[in-house]
C-alpha cells in the first residue's frame, strides 16, 4: 500500500473488488454496536453505578470510532483510484455525503432521544475526503493542527455564534451544529479521527509502535478523570481537550486490541476471529443496523418518552436482537438495504 498520497500519481494500488479489509469492518461493527448499547441505555434507568460507568464509556467510544473507520474507508477508496479518476471519486464521495446528510435530517423527525450522527458523518466525508489527497507528512500536520484548534474553535463558536438560534428556518443553526455547535458531535472534533483513520491505513500499527500507542492511549484516557479530580470539575464540556483525549484514548485502545487480534497467530487468532466474525458482519451493514435500531426506538418510545422503570424487553430488542438481525442479514443476504441504496446511487468501479 502506498505510504504517501503523491505516490498514487505514479502507480495505482490494485485491490481486488471482492476483497474487504477485515479490521475496518470489525471496528465499524464495534462502533455501531456501541451505539446500540448507548442509545438503549435510557431503557434501563435503574442500574448500578458500575454499569452506568461502562455504558458511558461505550457511548464516548461510538462516534469517534465511526469517524476513524470512515477515514479508513475513504483512504481505501483513494488507494483504488487512479489520478485520472480523482474527479469522479470526489463526486461519488460528495453524493454519498449528501445521502448521509439527507438520511440524518429525515431521522431527526422520527422523535427519539437519539442524537442522530449521520448528518455529521456526511459533512465529515464531504470535508475530509479531499484532504486525503495530501501527502502523509502534510496529513499528519493537518491532523495535529485540527486537533489543537478544535477546543478553542468550539469555545469561540459558543460565544460568538449565538445569533444562529434566532434563525427560525433552522438552516444556519443546523449548519453551525454540524460544524462547531453540536452538543454531542461536531466536525471540529470528528475530523481529527477521520484523518487519523486514513493515516492508520497508510502506516498500520505494528510491533513496538502498537504498544507505544497503547501506552499513550491509556494516558490520554486518564487525563479527563484526573483533571476532574484535581480541578474539582464534575465533567468537562464535550469537545474540550480533556474530553477529546478521553475519546482518543478509548478509540486507540480499541484499535490496538483489534489490530493485535487481527495479526495474532494460532489458537488466539482462531478464537478471536470466531468471536469477532458476527461483529465484522454487523460492520458490513452498519448503516442499515443504525437505521433499524433508531426506527425501533421510535416505536418502543414514541416521542422520545423516557421510562422510569427498566424495560428489559425493549432493551433486548434494541441491542442483542438488532445485532443478531444485522449479522444474520449479512451472512445470508449480503449487502444491507441502506448500503445497497448508496451503491446504486453512487456506482463505481472500485466496489
What is the reported pTM? 0.88
Q: Judging by beta carbons within 10 Å of its beta carbon (0-12, 13-18, 19+), is residue 275 exposed, middle or buried? A: exposed
215 belongs to a structural domain: no
Q: For the chain, give the longest Cα–Cα distance.
A: 62
Query: Residue 300 and residue 294: Cα distance in Å, rounded?
Result: 10
C-alpha cell at 201: 491505513
32 belongs to a structural domain: yes
Backbone angles phi, psi at 129, to 5 degrees: -55, -50
Query: Residue 227 and residue 290: Cα distance in Å, rounded?
Result: 34
Compute CA 54 distance to the chain's CA centroid, rounded to the nearest angstrom. Answer: 19
Neighbouring C-beta atoms of residue 58, cutoff 10 Å: 18
332 belongs to a structural domain: yes
222 belongs to a structural domain: no
- The half-sphere exposure of 262 on its side-chain side, counting CA atoms within 13 A, is 19
> What range defines the domain where residue 324 resides?
5-206+265-345
**pLDDT, position 12:** 38
Question: Domain total for the chain?
Answer: 1
Q: Contact, 221 vs 243, CB < 8 A?
A: no
**Angle between helix 22-40 and 266-284 (nearest 10):** 60
**pLDDT, position 22:** 66
**pLDDT, position 231:** 83
C-alpha cell at 146: 485540527
C-alpha cell at 258: 483489534
146 belongs to a structural domain: yes
Query: Residue 346 and residue 275: Cα distance in Å, rounded?
Result: 33
Would you give per-residue pLDDT tens digits along the chain (351 residues)? 444 444 443 333 333 333 455 689 999 999 999 999 999 999 999 999 999 999 999 999 999 999 999 999 999 999 888 888 889 999 999 999 999 999 999 999 998 999 999 999 999 999 999 999 999 999 999 999 999 999 999 999 888 887 777 776 678 888 989 999 888 899 999 999 999 999 999 988 888 888 999 999 999 999 998 988 888 777 778 888 999 999 999 999 999 999 888 877 788 878 888 888 999 999 999 999 999 999 999 998 888 788 888 999 999 999 999 999 999 999 999 899 999 999 998 876 443
Phi-psi region of 303 (alpha: psi -120 to 50; beta: other; left: phi over 0): left
**pLDDT, position 6:** 42
Query: Residue 100 and residue 119: Cα distance in Å, rounded?
Result: 6
Report the C-alpha dihedral over residues 271, 277, 283, 285, rounded to 10 degrees: -170
**pLDDT, position 266:** 80
Query: Residue 218 and residue 215: Cα distance in Å, rounded?
Result: 5
351 belongs to a structural domain: no
219 belongs to a structural domain: no
**pLDDT, position 17:** 37
Helices (H) and strands (E) in the chain, counts: 14, 0
> Strand locations in 146-204, DSSP E?
none
231 belongs to a structural domain: no
Q: Which residue has the cell 466536525?
A: 187
C-alpha cell at 192: 481529527
Amino acid at each position: 500500500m502506498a505510504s504517501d498520497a503523491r505516490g498514487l500519481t505514479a502507480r495505482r494500488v490494485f485491490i481486488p473488488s471482492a476483497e474487504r479489509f477485515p479490521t475496518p469492518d470489525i471496528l465499524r461493527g464495534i462502533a455501531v454496536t456501541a451505539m446500540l448499547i448507548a442509545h438503549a441505555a435510557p431503557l434501563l434507568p435503574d442500574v448500578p453505578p458500575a454499569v452506568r460507568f461502562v455504558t458511558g464509556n461505550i457511548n464516548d467510544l461510538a462516534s469517534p470510532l465511526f469517524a476513524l473507520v470512515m477515514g479508513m474507508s475513504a483512504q481505501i477508496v483513494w488507494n483504488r483510484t487512479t489520478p485520472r479518476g480523482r474527479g469522479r471519486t470526489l463526486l461519488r464521495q460528495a453524493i454519498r455525503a449528501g445521502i448521509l446528510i439527507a438520511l440524518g435530517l429525515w431521522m431527526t423527525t422520527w422523535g427519539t432521544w437519539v442524537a442522530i450522527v449521520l448528518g455529521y458523518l456526511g459533512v465529515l466525508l464531504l470535508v475530509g475526503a479531499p484532504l486525503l489527497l495530501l501527502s502523509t507528512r502534510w496529513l499528519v500536520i493537518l491532523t495535529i493542527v485540527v486537533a489543537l484548534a478544535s477546543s478553542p474553535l468550539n469555545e469561540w463558536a459558543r460565544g460568538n455564534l449565538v445569533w444562529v438560534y434566532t434563525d427560525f428556518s433552522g438552516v444556519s443553526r443546523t449548519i453551525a451544529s454540524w460544524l462547531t455547535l453540536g452538543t454531542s458531535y461536531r466536525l471540529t472534533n470528528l475530523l481529527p479521527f477521520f484523518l487519523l483513520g486514513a493515516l492508520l491505513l497508510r502506516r498500520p500499527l505494528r510491533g513496538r509502535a502498537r504498544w507505544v500507542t497503547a501506552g499513550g492511549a491509556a494516558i490520554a484516557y486518564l487525563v479527563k478523570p484526573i483533571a476532574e479530580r484535581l480541578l474539582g470539575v464534575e465533567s468537562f464540556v464535550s469537545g474540550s481537550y480533556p474530553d477529546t483525549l478521553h475519546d482518543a484514548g478509548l478509540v486507540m485502545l480499541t484499535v490496538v486490541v483489534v489490530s493485535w487480534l487481527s495479526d495474532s497467530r494460532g489458537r488466539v487468532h482462531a478464537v478471536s476471529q470466531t468471536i469477532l466474525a458476527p461483529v465484522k458482519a454487523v460492520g458490513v451493514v452498519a448503516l442499515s443496523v443504525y437505521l433499524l435500531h433508531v426506527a425501533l426506538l421510535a416505536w418502543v418510545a414514541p416521542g422520545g418518552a423516557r421510562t422510569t422503570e427498566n424495560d428489559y424487553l425493549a432493551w433486548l430488542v434494541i441491542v442483542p436482537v438488532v445485532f443478531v438481525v444485522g449479522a444474520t442479514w449479512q451472512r445470508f443476504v449480503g449487502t444491507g438495504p441502506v448500503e445497497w441504496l448508496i451503491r446504486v446511487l453512487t456506482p463505481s468501479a472500485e466496489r
